[in-house]
């Protein structure tokens, strides 16, 4: 079958055509195979002058037997790699689609499934890859703050572990990188000029990453404050009018310093209140309004008609 493995009959024809002096390209054309397939077949099994079909068939059968998957080997904790390997491969494929190298993704998912981390030797055995592949992947994961090292029992080896707060660590690392991109883009606008095409593209880039940084850091901060900032937003929306800091604290039954911290968080991280923005209506008096960048001028005019 064209495109499948070479059969005994195919190899017999190759031997005859080689004896007739035909080249690899012509043999490939007659068999409906790429020229490279014919050249590899002949190179594996001798030279054009001593290619023997039966010998080539036996060699191909031997290679096929060696390629057959072996039964899963037991790992250190007594579990088989069989069932878990399917999970590792599936999630590794999904992570690879986001841009993570496939080998690095396999190592990460393998560590996710381990009860107490794994040593480099255990990763090599579970994934059946080289130590160099594991070392390179672990280094990449450490750079992303997805994996940490801990001493193994006895202190002679290290275990690679996925911490419980790994997602928060990765989030914070991404936030810092996005903030640096926003700063660099703003600097580029100054270099090229806001009126140039390049300046306009860098300006859009800077706004995008600045907003992304606000959203990411704002969500983390709101969690750290016990959602006090979000509660203050809800209170100002419900009131529907400007409130002084004292009135807001009294309504929420909070101390003034707690209320002031929540309001300050909203001011410093506008994404907490998105799509609203905190406005100062007077001394220590606050209200909420729609963020001006959420609606275009045309949209605002249409809504006001």
Residue-wise pLDDT for 127-137, tens only, equals 888 999 999 99
C-alpha dist (Å) from residue 64 to 50, 61, 130, 167, 211? 23, 5, 22, 43, 55
Do the first three CATH levels of 81-163 and 226-305 match, i.e. the same topology?
yes
CATH topology of domain 226-305: Arc Repressor Mutant, subunit A (1.10.10)
Average pLDDT on 62-79 reads: 54
Please indicate, yes or no, whether the overall pTM of this predicted structure exceeds 0.85.
no
Residue 227 reports pLDDT greater than 70 = yes
pLDDT, tens digit, 9 for 90 and up, residues 145-157 = 888 888 877 667 8
Q: Given pLDDT bands bounded at 50, 70 and 90, which one contains residue 176?
A: low
Highest mean pLDDT, choosing among 90-104, 109-123, 249-263: 249-263
Class in CATH terms, 81-163: mainly alpha
DSSP the chain: -TTSPPPHHHHHHHHHHHHTT--HHHHHHHHT--HHHHHHHHHHT--TTT--HHHHHHHHHHHHHHHSPPPPPB-TTS-BHHHHHHHHHHHHHHHHTTT--HHHHHHHHHHHT-SS-EEHHHHHHHHT--HHHHHHHHHHHHHTT--EEEEPTTSSSEEEE--TTHHHHHHHHHHHHHHHHHHHHHHHHHHH-TTSHHHHHHHHHHHHHHHHHHHHHHHHHHHHTTTHHHHHHHHHHHH-S-EEHHHHHHHHT--HHHHHHHHHHHHH-GGGTTTEEEEEEETTEEEEEE-GGGS-HHHHHHHH-
Domain boundaries defined on the chain: 8-67, 81-163, 164-224, 226-305
Average pLDDT, the chain: 80
């Amino acid at each position: 079958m064209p495109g499948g493995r070479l059969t005994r009959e195919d190899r017999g024809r190759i031997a005859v055509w080689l004896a007739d002096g035909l080249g690899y390209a012509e043999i490939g054309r007659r068999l409906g195979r790429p020229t490279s397939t014919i050249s590899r077949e002949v190179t594996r099994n001798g030279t054009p002058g001593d290619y023997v079909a039966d010998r080539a068939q036996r060699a191909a059968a031997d290679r096929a037997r060696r390629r057959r998957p072996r039964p899963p080997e037991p790992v250190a904790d007594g579990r088989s790699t069989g069932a878990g390997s399917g999970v590792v491969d599936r999630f590794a494929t999904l992570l690879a689609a986001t841009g993570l190298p496939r080998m690095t993704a396999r190592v990460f998912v393998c560590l996710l499934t381990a009860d107490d981390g794994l040593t480099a030797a255990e990763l090599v055995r579970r994934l059946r890859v080289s130590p160099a592949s594991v070392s390179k992947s672990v280094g990449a994961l450490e750079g992303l703050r997805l994996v940490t090292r801990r001493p193994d029992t006895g202190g002679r080896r290290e275990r690679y572990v996925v911490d419980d707060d790994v997602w928060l660590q990765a989030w914070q690392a991404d936030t810092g990188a996005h903030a640096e991109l926003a700063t660099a883009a703003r600097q580029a606008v100054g270099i090229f000029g806001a009126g140039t095409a390049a300046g306009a593209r860098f300006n859009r880039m800077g706004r995008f990453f600045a907003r992304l940084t606000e959203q990411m850091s704002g969500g983390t901060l709101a969690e750290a404050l016990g959602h006090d900032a979000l509660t203050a937003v809800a209170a100002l929306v419900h009131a529907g009018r400007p409130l002084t800091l004292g009135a807001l604290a009294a309504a929420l039954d909070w101390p003034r310093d707690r209320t002031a911290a929540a309001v300050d968080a909203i001011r410093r991280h506008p994404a907490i209140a998105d799509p609203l923005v905190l406005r100062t209506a007077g001394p220590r008096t606050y209200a909420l309004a729609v963020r001006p960048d959420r609606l275009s001028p045309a949209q605002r005019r249409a809504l006001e008609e």
